[in-house]
Homo-oligomer: A and B are copies of this chain.
């Protein structure tokens, strides 16, 4: 089942095409993004905190598939912008809990998608069937990433 060598050529080209297309989409998104707005990583963290509530940096790192040190950098940036705040863990003195500030929650509600206005418009132009394909693919991506 997991033996790639027995897979048909179409699998190899599917992988190649998927990676190439994903890379191109990412570059396009970067080109369309506005430097004055939240970065990609920052948006991901705000969204995670909105959905999951207070979390430690280590848990955030695990959820977002980055190293704790990298998450620390992202959190420091968000903290400096006043979008997340910290509070001590009630029982474990090593841990620090991070959560949204009011400003962070407001940003999340009101402006989180501004950065992705271009992709939202582009997806809006697709047919309902094509949109369904994207939604299904997103679920598959998530499964692949977390498998």
Contacts and interface: CB of A to CB of B under 8 A. Distances in A.
A59 interface: no
Contact of A124 (B2, B119, B123): B2
B137 A134 contact: yes
Interface in A89-136: 112-113, 116-117, 119-126, 130-131, 133-136
A121 B2 contact: yes
Contact of A21 (B29, B117, B123, B141): B141
B134 A2 contact: no
Copies assembled: 2
Is the interface on chain A under 10, 10 to 19, 20 to 34, or 35 or more residues? 35 or more
Contacts of A126: 140
B16 A47 contact: yes
Nearest to A7: B124
A47 B20 contact: yes
A147 interface: yes
